[in-house]
Amino acid sequence: MELGLAGKTALVAASSQGLGKAIARALVLEGANVMITSRSEEKLQQVAEELNGLHKGRVAYVRTDVTKADEIRQLVAKTVETFGTIDLLVNNAGGPPAGTFETVSDEDWQYAFELNLLSYIRLIREALPYLKKKGGKIVNIASSSIKEPIPGLILSNTFRTGIVGLTKTLAGELARDGILINTVAPGRIATERVAFLDKVNAEKLGITKEEMEARMKSAIPLGRYGTPEEFANIVVFLLSEANSYVTGQALIVDGGMVKAI
C-alpha cells in the first residue's frame, strides 16, 4: 500500500518518548519530515539524532510546554520556518496525575484541562491555516477511557472524553477544507506511562508490579500489552493518503481489552 507520506511535514506533540516518539519514527521511515517536541531538551536532542540517523525524512525539534499558549505559537511558527508548511498534526500529551474526585484539587483540574484538552485546541488553531492549504490530516491521541472510565484516573477520564467531542465536531466543520480528523485511543501499550500506572496500582493492592502486569494482561484477549510501534502503525495509516474517507472517528487500539460497544 502506498501511503504517500514522503515529503509531507508532520508536527508530533509529546514525541521525545513513548507513543509520540513511535509515531514520529514511523512517519520518518515513510519519508515525512517531522517536528518533534516535548519539555525535555536533552531527550529531544537524543531522539532527533536517532531519527535523523535513519536517513529517511528530516527531523527537527523545539522544546515546548504545551500548556503555554505562547510556546505553542512559537512551535508552529518554527515548524513552518523549518519545513515550509504543516500537512499533518498529531496532538498528544502526557497523562495527568492519578487521583479520585475527593483527592484532586482545583489546581489539578486546571492543569489537566490545559495539558490534555486545551493544548489540542490551541495546536489545531495555530496549525489550521497551513492544514487548509492542501487538506491536511489531524490525529488526536486519547485513551481507552473514552469508552470505559479507568478507576483512579478521573482527570484523564474527563478530559480524554472531551477530545472525542472536539474531534467529532471538527470533522464536520473542517470537512469543507478537505481536512480529516480522528481520535486514536491506546489501551495497555508498553510505555513508561503504563509502567508507572502498574507500579501505582500494585502499591495500592500490596502486590508486586509483575503481579499487577499479569492481572492486566489476563484481561486482554490477545494476552499481552501492545507495542508503541503497533499503535503508531494505526496513526500513520490515518495520516496517510491511503486514508481518504475516515474522519470524526474514535479508534481504540487495545488488543480487545475494552468490552464496551
DSSP string for 20-38: HHHHHHHHHHTT-EEEEEE
42 and 164, same domain (yes or no): yes
95 and 199, same domain (yes or no): no
Q: What is the pLDDT of residues 127-164, one digit of tens each?
A: 999 999 999 999 999 999 999 999 999 999 999 999 99
Q: What is the pLDDT of residues 95-110, one digit of tens each?
A: 898 899 999 999 999 9
Q: Is the pLDDT of residue 1 over 90?
A: no
**What is the percent of the chain with per-residue pLDDT over 70, rounded to a whole number?**
100
Q: Has residue 261 been placed in a domain?
A: no
User: Going by C-beta distance under 8 Å and a sequence separation of 6 or more, which residues neighbour residue 41?
Assistant: 63
Q: Has residue 259 been placed in a domain?
A: no
Place 182 in a pLDDT band, splitting at 50, 70 and 90. Answer: very high
63 and 161, same domain (yes or no): yes
Amino acid in position 36:
I
Q: Has residue 1 been placed in a domain?
A: no
The pLDDT mean for the chain works out to 96
State the pTM of this model. 0.95
| Residue range(s) defining the domain that contains residue 129 | 9-187+227-253
Q: What is the pLDDT of residues 60-85, one digit of tens each?
A: 999 999 999 999 999 999 999 999 99
Q: Based on the structure, what is the number of domains in the chain? A: 2
The dihedral region occupied by 7, where left means phi > 0, alpha psi between -120 and 50, and beta the remainder, is: left
Strands 88-91 and 9-12: parallel
Max Cα distance, the chain (Å): 55
pLDDT at 197: 85
123 and 213, same domain (yes or no): no
pLDDT at 261: 84
Average pLDDT of span 182-205: 92
160 and 46, same domain (yes or no): yes
Place 200 in a pLDDT band, splitting at 50, 70 and 90. Answer: confident
Q: What angle do CA 68, 14, 137 make, to 5 degrees?
A: 95
102 and 212, same domain (yes or no): no
Place 253 in a pLDDT band, splitting at 50, 70 and 90. Answer: very high
102 and 196, same domain (yes or no): no
Average pLDDT of span 196-203: 90
**What is the percent of the chain with per-residue pLDDT over 90, rounded to a whole number?**
94
Check which CATH number belongs to the domain holding 87 and give it: 3.40.50.720
Alpha helices in 135-189 (DSSP H): 154-174
